Structure 1
Amino acid sequence: MDPLAIQMNIDPRKNKMIMNIVGKRKIEEETALVPSTSKISNNNVPSHLRSIEDIAENLIDNLIYVEWKTDVFRKSAYNPPAASLPGLAQLLSATSNLSIADKLGPMPNWPIERNISMEKEKQMLKQGLRPSYYNRKEKKHWLAFDLLTIIEYAKTFPVIHQLSEQDRIVLLKSVSLLCYNLQQSWFSYESKSDTVIHPDGTPPLTMRYFGVEYSKKSILPFMRDHVDKKEYCLLKAIILCNPATAGLSDEGVQLLTTERERYSRALFLYCMANRGLLGPAHYAAVLSLVDMIEHQAKRQKDMHLLLRIELPNRCRVQLIEEVMD
């Protein structure tokens, strides 16, 4: 995967983190072309002889690659109608669709101008009406699209394909909303917003119902603890690989336990290397973000149930219904 080929609003050559990884990849490629007189070449070092730190660093690099692709996918011109999205089983059985973003490029005409107060918008939605900006072709159904994004993100993990079909469905039904909330909060924090926003500049539906202060709560922990991108990527992988998900088979639990331990170990090593004596406390602080997003997910499911009652004729999206059930 070439990170410089990813469509981004900001020139990737100005991003120090990206260029560091590109540099390491180039060194690896050049080293592979140099004949070695050693019986063990640099590229064939057995995994048990590699340092734990090197393994953790490679793991983090791979997660950052996936996150870049995911971010490009979110910002792309790809915008399927929410009602056309299939359920979890069909999405998980299909090949990854992240690469479509490279073909379509970024969505034009963002950010979207709303020209309506949040309270007025809330009243219109309760009446079954749609604000005019909802009809713009650049406007995405963000709950549906971001859940789709999480499914595509999950399919980049080899462990997901090692699970049985039933285990994949059970897992993603449980963790998709958690990853969705973490992804939204990180994007908003990285965009230097103190409230949750979508890539097109619009606020989420939850802000209209729960208020601005509720939205701020999901950003404050990132600001308070100065969480960085590598820590976020590792936490997202930890949340995805949840062996405690109810309904998993014994084999699925074992696979996910092993995978989660890899990411947890990498996060701990990274915190220790970058935070010094504060490493253990920071590691605990990063993991504590899970409690916040679990609380968010519970409130969102409650809100979804209330909307079903208030708006019984509202168009339902299969993917959303399965995740919210």
Structure 2
Amino acid sequence: MNLEYFDTNGNVTDSPCTSSSTNESERFECPKICIICNLPATGYHYDVASCTGCKTFFRRTITDGRRFACNKKADCFEEWRNEIEGKVKRICQSCRFDRCVEAGMNPRAVQAEIKNDEGRELIREVIARQKHKQEQMVIEKIYKNVGTMESKVTLIINTLDYIERLVQPIWENGVPFGYIDVRTLNDLINSQPVFEIERIPNLVKLPPRFKCDDDRRKNHATRTKYLHGSILASIELAKCLEFIDQLDPDSKIALLKHVTLISSNLMNAYFSVNIMKADRLLLPDGSPVSCSKPPQNAEEVDYYKNHSQNIHMAVATLLRTQLDHVEYLLLKAIFICNPAIRGLSSHGQIIIERERQKYSQSLFNYCMVQRGVVNGPSRFCDLIGISTSLESMQKYQKDQHVFLKALRFAKHHAHHEHKHRHRGPRWLFDEILED
């Protein structure tokens, strides 16, 4: 076995400092310890704090293209480091050279001319080894950052899931039959969140003429009850997001008027598809959303067919994309954080854009973890594309609301019944759809 012998002062050969690219600020003070052998260092040699002996050994090995083998299974370096200080120390040349390479000594910085092909081949091998090590360090750093990001994403998901569970009873129950929640959107925004129907303040009992005394009225009352519940749940959920309180009152109103129906439609579709395992839109009690009366002619058949396609648009989209619970939570938060809405202040847009980026990054990271590098980005794009269907569905609902309201006005105006009519249980719904 070839051995290098050197005392605690190292062998003094060649110039005291040969290096190429170490940061100049780090050279104002000479390093104290050689990171190769732990003996006193004489400077930075080939980009590494080292002694003159290790510098010379590295240069000589590279220029000659020498090859070594360790007879102690490459562990004699550790054995040497554990010897008593002050004694002559021995380390095999193979382990010493490996240590030089691992420490980062740069073979390109060797100034002496390479003597043979073996030397040039050795340089290529050393460069390849060091490149592989650098890549491994980068990968480890990435995984560390991913771990940190995963912790942040997990916290965001857990928070959204907690809020979802808080508002779910409102969606499931709706306002009790025979009562109406007369609070306006402004009332809701300026009040504390309410997660239980029985805690809603000032519920108003409906007048006798709204009594559900036939199937048609019962069906209408049921739809209205759950429609109000889903709208209310969406508003209360948005109020629980931490950025909402940073917005001015006008921006809050503008934001919630636009995003509440989208959030409500997504919630209704998700629970129909994922919780109740249906292929159509269902109310929380499991009953289907159907027309209030059967069509009477071909024109009405076409109308109701088109109407059915539009109100089931979100369900069809979720059936196609197979949305899971985490994707649903993050998507809903992203759709709520829409900085492009008309009526937002400049400051509000900045706040909402920041939150949207946070939730979007969380969804992207989740897709990458679940689907991998190849399929993750495309999955993310597919999910964000759901917004197109939800925006179209919302537009249809608002157009229908205006159309039907005009018909009702014309009908009651013709019968002179338009004065002092009770608005019925559509107070909040009207306000949201008349944006």
Please report the TM-score for the alignment, with normalisation by the length of structure 2: 0.53
Q: In the alignment, does 2:230 pair up with 1:146?
A: yes
Which residue of the partner structure matches residue 406 of structure 2?
A: 309
Which residue of 154, 163, 170 corresponds with 2:254?
170
Structure-2 change in CA distance of 1:221 and 1:162 (3 Å): same
Which residue of the partner structure matches residue 382 of structure 2?
A: 285
Cα distance between partner residues in 2 of 1:83 and 1:102: 12
Structure-2 change in CA distance of 1:135 and 1:147 (3 Å): closer
Measured after TM superposition, the shift of residue 224 of structure 1 is 2.2
SS in 1 for 2:338: coil
Which residue of 297, 319, 325 corresponds with 2:428?
319
Within 5 A, what are the aligned runs for 1:1-325? Answer: 51-76=148-173, 78-79=175-176, 83-98=180-195, 100=196, 131-134=216-219, 141-190=225-274, 191-204=276-289, 209=304, 210-276=306-372, 277-312=374-409, 313=412, 315=423, 317-325=426-434
Measured after TM superposition, the shift of residue 180 of structure 1 is 1.2
Cα distance between partner residues in 2 of 1:264 and 1:216: 26
SS in 1 for 2:284: coil
Letter in 1 for 2:183: P
Encode CA deviations 1:227-266: one digit per residue, 9 max, x unaligned.
1010010000001111111111111011101111110000
Measured after TM superposition, the shift of residue 146 of structure 1 is 1.6
Structure-2 change in CA distance of 1:81 and 1:165 (3 Å): farther
Cα distance between partner residues in 1 of 2:392 and 2:292: 15
Contact kept? 2:223, 2:289, Cα under 8 Å? no
Structure-2 change in CA distance of 1:56 and 1:139 (3 Å): same
Encode CA deviations 1:70-111: one digit per residue, 9 max, x unaligned.
22221237537674322111110000001x25989xxxxxxx
SS in 1 for 2:161: helix
SS in 2 for 1:196: coil
Structure-2 change in CA distance of 1:168 and 1:205 (3 Å): farther
Measured after TM superposition, the shift of residue 59 of structure 1 is 0.2
Contact kept? 2:330, 2:360, Cα under 8 Å? yes
Q: 4+ runs of 1 displaced by more than 6 Å?
A: 205-208
Measured after TM superposition, the shift of residue 272 of structure 1 is 0.4
Measured after TM superposition, the shift of residue 216 of structure 1 is 4.1
Contact kept? 2:216, 2:292, Cα under 8 Å? no
Cα distance between partner residues in 2 of 1:206 and 1:233: 30
Letter in 2 for 1:181: N
- Pick the structure with more strand per residue: 2
Structure-2 change in CA distance of 1:217 and 1:76 (3 Å): closer
Contact kept? 1:238, 1:260, Cα under 8 Å? yes
Between structure 1 and structure 2, the one with the greater Rg is 2
Percentage of matched positions with identical amino acids:
29
Encode CA deviations 1:251-306: one digit per residue, 9 max, x unaligned.
10111011111100000000000011211111001110000010000000111111
Which residue of the partner structure matches residue 34 of structure 1?
A: none
Measured after TM superposition, the shift of residue 220 of structure 1 is 2.7
Larger RCO (CA under 8 A, 6+ residues apart): 1
Encode CA deviations 1:6-39: one digit per residue, 9 max, x unaligned.
xxxxxxxxxxxxxxxxxxxxxxxxxxxxxxxxxx
Contact kept? 2:220, 2:292, Cα under 8 Å? no
What are structure 1's unaligned runs of at least 5 residues? 1-47, 105-128
Contact kept? 1:79, 1:140, Cα under 8 Å? no
Which residue of the partner structure matches residue 103 of structure 2?
A: none
Q: CA RMSD in A?
A: 2.8
Measured after TM superposition, the shift of residue 187 of structure 1 is 1.1
Contact kept? 1:167, 1:249, Cα under 8 Å? yes
Cα distance between partner residues in 2 of 1:76 and 1:305: 27
Cα distance between partner residues in 1 of 2:192 and 2:348: 21
Cα distance between partner residues in 1 of 2:251 and 2:158: 27
What are structure 2's unaligned runs of at least 5 residues? 1-144, 201-213, 294-303, 413-420
SS in 1 for 2:362: helix
Pairs aligned (count): 252
Letter in 2 for 1:289: I
Contact kept? 1:242, 1:257, Cα under 8 Å? yes
Cα distance between partner residues in 2 of 1:306 and 1:244: 26
Contact kept? 1:78, 1:101, Cα under 8 Å? yes
Structure-2 change in CA distance of 1:135 and 1:225 (3 Å): closer
Please report the TM-score for the alignment, with normalisation by the length of structure 1: 0.70
Letter in 2 for 1:243: P
